[in-house]
Amino acid sequence: MITLSRIIWPLVIIAIGGLLGWLMRQDPGYLLLAWGDHAVEMSIWVALAIVLLALLGMMFVRTLIRGVIHLRPNRHQRGVQKLEKGILAFLELRLPRAKRHLTAGEADSPLPWVNQLLLARIAQTEKDYPTVASWLDKATQEHPHMDLASGLLLVLSAYESRQLDLALAHAKRLEQNHPGNPFVLRLLRDIHVRLQDWQSLLELQPRLIKTGRRKPERWQCDMVAGLMEEAPANAGQKLQKWWKQLTTSQQSDPDLRYWYLRALVKLERPHIALQAIEHALSQHWDSRLLTLYSQLDTPARERLRQAEAWLQKQPRDALFMLALGRLCLQEGLWGKAQDYFADGLRLEPLPELELELARLEAALGQNQQSQERLARVSAQLLRLPPLPLPEKPARTEYEKAQAVAAPTDH
Q: What is the pLDDT of residues 81-114, one digit of tens each?
A: 888 888 888 888 888 888 888 888 877 788 888 8
pLDDT score for 20: 67
Q: Which amino acid is at 316?
A: R
Residue 409 binned pLDDT confidence (cut-offs 50, 70, 90): very low
Q: How many whole angstroms separate alpha carbon 155 and alpha carbon 152?
A: 5
Question: What does DSSP assign to residue 145?
Answer: G
Give, in order, the Cα–Cα distances in Å from 390 to each of 7, 177, 387, 399: 118, 75, 10, 16
Tens-place pLDDT, residues 310-325 = 988 888 899 999 999 9
Look at residues 76, 156, 144 and name the one whose alpha carbon lies nearest to residue 110: 76
Best-predicted range by mean pLDDT (143-157, 224-238, 280-294): 280-294
Widest pairwise Cα distance in the chain: 165
On the question of pLDDT at 364 being above 60, the answer is yes
Of the listed ranges 219-233, 303-317, 337-351, the least confidently predicted one is 219-233
Look at residues 294, 301, 274, 270 and name the one whose alpha carbon lies nearest to residue 356: 294
More confident residue, 407 or 169: 169
On the question of pLDDT at 294 being above 70, the answer is yes
Mean pLDDT of the chain: 81
pLDDT score for 68: 62
Q: How many whole angstroms separate alpha carbon 28 and alpha carbon 280?
A: 119
Look at residues 184, 220, 225, 224 and name the one whose alpha carbon lies nearest to residue 205: 220
Of the listed ranges 295-299, 320-324, 370-374, 406-410, the least confidently predicted one is 406-410
Of the listed ranges 123-127, 291-295, 356-360, the least confidently predicted one is 123-127
More confident residue, 304 or 126: 304
For range 193-207, the mean pLDDT: 86
Q: How many whole angstroms separate alpha carbon 24 and alpha carbon 200?
A: 101
Angle, in degrees to the nearest 10, between helices 182-195 and 198-210: 160
40, burial (CB in 10 Å: exposed 0-12, middle 13-18, buried 19+): exposed
Element (H, E) at 34: strand 31-35
Task: Say what percent of the chain tops pLDDT 70.
Answer: 87
On the question of pLDDT at 398 being above 60, the answer is no
On the question of pLDDT at 227 being above 60, the answer is yes
Give, in order, the Cα–Cα distances in Å from 391 to each of 222, 379, 388, 394: 48, 17, 9, 9
More confident residue, 21 or 50: 50
On the question of pLDDT at 221 being above 80, the answer is yes
Rg (CA), the chain: 46
Tens-place pLDDT, residues 119-175 = 888 887 887 878 887 887 887 777 777 778 778 877 887 887 788 888 888 888 888
DSSP-H helix ranges across 231-333: 235-245, 248-251, 254-266, 270-283, 287-293, 300-311, 318-330
For range 344-365, the mean pLDDT: 90
- Where does CATH 1.25.40.10 sit in the chain? 111-214, 267-382
Q: How many whole angstroms separate alpha carbon 235 and alpha carbon 227?
A: 7
* Domain range 111-214, CATH class: mainly alpha
Q: Please tell me the pTM assigned to this model.
A: 0.63
Residue 383 binned pLDDT confidence (cut-offs 50, 70, 90): confident
Please count the other Cβ atoms lying within 10 Å of the Cβ belonging to residue 95: 16
CATH topology of domain 267-382: 1.25.40
Q: Say what the alpha-carbon torsion angle 103, 106, 109, 110 is, to the nearest 10 degrees.
A: 130
On the question of pLDDT at 9 being above 50, the answer is yes
CB–CB of 377/351 below 8 Å? Answer: yes
On the question of pLDDT at 38 being above 70, the answer is yes
pLDDT score for 117: 83
Residue 408 binned pLDDT confidence (cut-offs 50, 70, 90): very low
